[in-house]
């Protein structure tokens, strides 16, 4: 069995590792020209679902390298008002288990981990443009440079604008949530870290402000120094070639989200300096410390993003073309589970294809069984994530928005003061993200 994977992102590469470990032939085709191309700049939270999938698919040593490359674990999840006053502070569980824990990773670092040892599997500079079936039922992928590749199964792992999905399921569309986010990284220095309340950081901050505006804050501290030298003489990291390709250094990350009509119409074309000026214009009454943090953003890391989401569709007849990750279930970052769901897909598809390898299932039957489950949890995650991040929410309405924000803050303050409610909220958070008690 030959498997062709389009896209060397989170889901595609996890699948490729899983298949290679299972002794199944796999080739990945990626449009980026080199392994360090692309703006893969933001923080991704890997939850226990994601960690379990990585643990199942990656060779043992590489999984340990993945754990070794994670940023320092956040100790609190705190809601603030726009004056940086806490309304609810949730203590997070310390990462005592390598798998069953929450992890903070740099997207670029995770990418480099997943590329490790896969030089013979990934083909860079291959932009997929279409596929066709052969007379014997096999499938041929066609690339922009005129080359082709033929296999038994074609897997779309090519992300939100999937070209495979456009051809295979043209009725599966994504739509705008009406939310835009602008974000930048701030180099971690004594000056920048002093702007955040030390009591709650390293942690994750969520500022809820009037006008439906919010701002996420992340503290990303890595186990290597400014020169990229592993701290604490970590042998695994010292041996890991990925560090040569990864320019991630300690940073703080801010990301302001609001309804699209609060942004200039052409914001997605703005350069870094303009985005930072815009962040200041959008937050004139916010805490001066937060505003200073915005000004310290590195313009070369700033970008604006339109938040899109898939529109769930009914199941389709399975064939030897399938999809995983954002290619089929793009979701808002509202629940922080897009990458985790892509990783779950990769693990499930690996398991199903292993049954095909063993002659215990036919290929299309295995694809069908994978898709049945994936459609269920994938589209559920799409719906849940959309609920958390949509311009239809009350907080974005002109008058009702103020009432809704006051109500939300009141509720958060009550939870903060009632230990049983707080515990229930923390348990719910971990349960949703696959954690065990
Ligand atoms: C700001 C932000 C924060 C997020 N935070 C989190 C978080 O905390 N936790 C979480 O779980 N998720 C998070 N996500 C979502 C997460 O990043 C995605 O869901 C995840 O990366 C999807 O993985 P994927 O493998 O499906 O696609 P991707 O990782 O996007 O990979 C797709 C790959 O396909 C390649 N490609 C595209 N088109 C072609 C083509 N035609 N030919 C060949 N190759 C192609 C691309 O170059 C890319 O390498 C966040 C997203 C955003 C935007």
Over residues 55-74, mean pLDDT: 96
Helices (H), 84-223: 107-115, 163-168, 190-193
pLDDT at res. 40:
61
Cα 109 from Cα 99, distance rounded (Å): 18
Instruction: Assess contact for 195 and 290: CB atoms under 8 A.
Output: yes
Triad 331, 402, 89: Cα angle to 5°:
65
* Tokens read off for 349: 């598809």
Cα 434 from Cα 376, distance rounded (Å): 16
pTM of the model: 0.95
Helix (H) or strand (E) holding 28: strand 25-29
Residues 6+ apart with CB under 8 A from 117: 59, 62
Ligand 1 midpoint to CA 277 (Å) = 28
pLDDT at res. 228:
87
Confidence of residue 335 (pLDDT cuts 50, 70, 90): very high
| Residues 397-423 pLDDT 10s | 888 999 999 999 999 999 999 999 999
Over residues 168-175, mean pLDDT: 97
Q: Does the beta carbon of 31 lie inside 6 Å of ligand 1?
A: yes
pLDDT at res. 190:
96
Least confident of 123-132, 184-193, 228-237, 291-300: 228-237
Q: Does the beta carbon of 128 lie inside 6 Å of ligand 1?
A: yes
Ligand 1 midpoint to CA 97 (Å) = 26
| Ligand 1 atom at minimum distance from 163 CA | 41
Three-state DSSP state, 46: strand
Residue written as tokens 């705190």?
A: 78
pLDDT at res. 437:
52
Residues 6+ apart with CB under 8 A from 400: 394
Per DSSP, 94 falls in state: P
| Ligand 1 atom at minimum distance from 47 CA | 11
Residues 6+ apart with CB under 8 A from 277: none
Instruction: Using the Cα atoms of residue 165, residue 167, residue 172 and residue 174 in order, give the sign of their dihedral.
Output: positive
| Nearest-CA residue for atom 14 of ligand 1 | 338
Q: Would you call the peptide bond into 202 cis, given omega within 30 degrees of 0 as the criterion? A: yes
| Residues 98-137 pLDDT 10s | 999 999 999 999 999 999 999 999 999 999 999 999 999 9
DSSP string, 257-297: EEEGGGS-TTGGG--HHHHHHHHHHH-TTS-HHHHHHHHTS
Cα 67 from Cα 220, distance rounded (Å): 14
Q: What proportion of the chain, given as a percentage, has pLDDT over 70?
A: 99
Sheet holding 303-310, edge to edge: 86-91, 76-80, 204-208, 214-220, 251-259, 174-187, 303-310
Cα 75 from Cα 203, distance rounded (Å): 5
Instruction: Using the Cα atoms of residue 225, residue 107, residue 42 and residue 51 in order, give the sign of their dihedral.
Output: negative
Ligand 1 midpoint to CA 399 (Å) = 36
Of 4, 8, 9, the residue with max ligand 1 atoms within 8 A of its CB, to mutate for a pocket test, comes to: 9
Cα 422 from Cα 156, distance rounded (Å): 41
| Nearest-CA residue for atom 31 of ligand 1 | 9
| Residues 2-53 pLDDT 10s | 999 999 999 999 999 999 999 999 999 999 998 888 766 689 999 999 999 9
pLDDT at res. 241:
85
Q: Does the beta carbon of 336 lie inside 6 Å of ligand 1?
A: yes
| Ligand 1 atom at minimum distance from 327 CA | 26
Three-state DSSP state, 302: coil
pLDDT of 436 higher than 90: no
| Ligand 1 atom at minimum distance from 164 CA | 41
Over residues 325-348, mean pLDDT: 97
């Amino acid at each position: 069995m030959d498997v062709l994977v389009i896209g060397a992102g989170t889901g595609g590469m996890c699948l490729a590792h899983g298949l290679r470990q299972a002794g199944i032939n796999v080739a990945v085709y990626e449009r980026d020209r080199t392994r360090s191309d692309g703006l893969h700049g933001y923080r991704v939270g890997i939850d226990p679902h994601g960690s379990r999938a990585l643990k199942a698919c990656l060779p043992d040593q590489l999984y340990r390298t993945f754990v070794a490359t994670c940023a320092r674990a956040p100790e609190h999840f705190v809601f603030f008002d726009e004056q940086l006053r806490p309304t609810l502070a949730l203590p997070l569980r310390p990462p005592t288990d390598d798998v069953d824990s929450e992890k903070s990773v740099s997207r670029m670092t995770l990418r480099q981990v997943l590329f490790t040892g896969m030089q013979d599997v990934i083909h860079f500079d291959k932009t997929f443009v279409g596929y066709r079936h052969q007379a014997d039922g096999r499938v041929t992928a066609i690339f922009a440079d005129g080359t082709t590749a033929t296999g038994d199964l074609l897997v779309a792992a090519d992300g939100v604008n999937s070209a495979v999905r456009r051809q295979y399921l043209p009725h599966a569309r994504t739509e705008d949530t009406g939310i835009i986010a602008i974000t930048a990284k701030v180099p971690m220095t004594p000056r920048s870290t002093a702007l955040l309340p030390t009591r709650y950081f390293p942690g994750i901050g969520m500022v809820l402000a009037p006008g439906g505006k919010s701002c996420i804050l992340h503290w990303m501290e890595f186990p290597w120094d400014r020169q990229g030298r592993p701290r604490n003489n970590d042998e695994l990291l010292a041996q890991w070639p990925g560090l040569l390709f990864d320019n991630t250094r300690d940073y703080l990350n801010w990301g302001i989200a609001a309804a699209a009509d609060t942004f200039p119409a052409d914001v997605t074309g703005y350069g870094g300096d303009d985005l930072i000026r815009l962040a200041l214009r959008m937050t004139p009454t916010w805490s001066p410390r937060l505003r200073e943090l915005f000004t310290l953003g590195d313009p070369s890391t700033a970008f604006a993003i339109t938040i899109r989401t898939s529109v769930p569709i009914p199941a389709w007849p399975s064939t030897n073309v399938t999809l995983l990750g954002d290619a089929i279930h793009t979701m808002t970052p509202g629940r922080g589970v897009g990458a985790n769901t892509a990783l779950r897909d990769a693990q499930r598809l690996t398991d199903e294809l292993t049954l095909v390898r063993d002659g215990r299932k036919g290929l299309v039957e295995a694809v069908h069984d994978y898709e049945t489950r994936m459609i269920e949890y994938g589209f559920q995650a799409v719906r849940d994530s959309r609920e958390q991040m949509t311009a239809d929410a009350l907080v974005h309405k002109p008058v009702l928005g103020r009432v809704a924000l006051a109500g939300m803050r009141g509720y958060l303050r009550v939870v903060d003061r009632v230990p049983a409610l707080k515990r229930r909220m923390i348990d719910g958070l971990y349960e949703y993200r696959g954690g065990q008690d």
